[in-house]
Amino acid sequence: MNNKNFQTIFDCGSSKIRAGVFNIDDENNAFYAESKFLSNDSNLELEIHKIIAFFEKNTSEYINNINLMMDSSKMLSIGISISKKLDGSKLRQANIQFLIQEAKQQVLKHYANYSILHIIINSYRIDNIDYSDLPDEIKCHFISLDIIFICLPTDLILYFKNIFSKNNIFINQIICSSYVKSFNYKNDISFTGYLSFIDIGFNKTSIISYFNDKIIFLDTLPVGGNHITKDISKILDLDLKKSEQIKLNFCQNHQFLNETNISLEILQKIISSRTEEIIELCTKSIKSNSSILGQSKILLMGDGSKILGNGHKDKFSIPNNLDHLEETLEGICHSGFKFGIGLNKQEVVVVPKKQIKQGFFEKLFHLFS
């Protein structure tokens, strides 16, 4: 597929693959596809191959490269503050690049088995004055940066690179799915103050908090919708496939439960117990990682959160400021596409290796302002 005209996004979750291909000149000219429920690794490779074949058939073009959206229960968010004394002359981009490189090397040294996906500059402190963006033409004696690194295990990244390599596809960029989705949804919401997103996935839950336009933190908990399924399986003595069916139908059709002779009251207790535990852990994380002084709002997203949609919110003991955000295949893929062409202005972007001669820092990253 011609990179000048198209961009392909794959969102590879633990239970489902979603993908979209977009015409860069006309983003409404797009194709979307999603896999069936993933049961094992061979199923994953097969579903990815099917989606690639579907796109190539409908666009009459070969896919040579993609952008990949990923999350993991082992995802890390690492905050670093780094500073440097200067001579009072005009602050140069090279000064910023040096500090970012120093911080990056610290992360790679202490987390050798991880790869950095995102480098986000949260604030610039120049001569004891805080700036959310880097000022133009400013003299500086002392500068410090607050930086957030979002990382994934290197072996997981290599695993997916190998799968796409079997299909002769190169991965241009790997981005954190929950962060990218929250960044896109945040821009569509008219809200001032603290805004948090809880993304409940299959085996993990991510919490991403913002204050106005600035990300405060990202946290990951190793618990998700699959833990609710396992609870149902264990307590009702059912296999996991049947338990997943029952969980999904709890949200959609109570007649299904009557046909299986399962008590709605018992099922609701099982589901609410684990769901409320996940929400409680998330709200504790939000409170411990931010000093919320004013208005705040929490939005639930992800497949694991659907149990709180469709009018079922009143069946759970959850905070009043928490609402459910209904996600779509198109919305998820579009988040990855918009991030790839727009990006967060606070983010340093790691540039993929290209077969052209570049300067040292151009190979490493460039800064969007």
pLDDT of residue 250: 72
In this predicted structure, the answer to whether residue 360 has a pLDDT above a threshold of 60 is no
pLDDT band at 260 (very low <50, low <70, confident <90, very high): low
Mean pLDDT of 282-310: 80
Mean pLDDT of 341-353: 64
pLDDT of residue 3: 45
Lowest mean pLDDT among 126-130, 294-298, 311-315, 333-337: 311-315
CB atoms within 10 A of CB 2: 10
| Rounded-to-integer distance, Cα 108 and Cα 96, Å | 18
Q: Hey, where are the domains in the chain?
A: 6-71+156-176, 76-153+339-367, 189-327
pLDDT band at 347 (very low <50, low <70, confident <90, very high): confident
The three state secondary structure string of 56-121 is HHHHCCCCCEEEEEECCCCCEEEEEEEEEECCCCECCHHHHHHHHHHHHHHHHHHCCCEEEEEEEE
| Rounded-to-integer distance, Cα 257 and Cα 245, Å | 10
- For 76-153+339-367, CATH number? 3.30.1490.110
| Rounded-to-integer distance, Cα 275 and Cα 172, Å | 36
| Rounded-to-integer distance, Cα 174 and Cα 177, Å | 9
CATH topology of domain 189-327: Nucleotidyltransferase; domain 5 (3.30.420)
In this predicted structure, the answer to whether residue 358 has a pLDDT above a threshold of 60 is no
DSSP assignment letter at 360: H
In this predicted structure, the answer to whether residue 85 has a pLDDT above a threshold of 70 is yes
Whole-prediction pTM:
0.87
pLDDT of residue 359: 39
CA-to-CA separations, 28 to 21, 66, 80, in angstroms, rounded: 10, 18, 39
Beta bridge partners of 272: none
Mean pLDDT of 109-129: 94
Contact 197, 185 (CB under 8 A): yes
Average pLDDT, the chain: 85
Same fold, 6-71+156-176 and 189-327: yes
Taking each helix axis as running N to C, give the angle between helix 264-289 and helix 225-236, from 0 to 180 degrees, rounded to the nearest 10. 150
In this predicted structure, the answer to whether residue 50 has a pLDDT above a threshold of 60 is yes
Model confidence over 65-81: pLDDT tens digits?
Answer: 999 999 999 999 999 99
Q: Which two tokens stand for residue 342?
A: 């727009």
Model confidence over 132-190: pLDDT tens digits?
Answer: 888 888 999 999 999 999 999 999 999 999 999 999 999 999 999 999 999 999 988 87
Contact 229, 40 (CB under 8 A): no
pLDDT of residue 365: 44
Three-class SS of residue 292? Answer: coil
Element containing residue 300 per DSSP (H, E):
strand 296-301
CB atoms within 10 A of CB 237: 8
Lowest mean pLDDT among 42-46, 124-128, 260-264: 260-264
- For 6-71+156-176, CATH number? 3.30.420.40
Q: Which two tokens stand for residue 280?
A: 């409680």
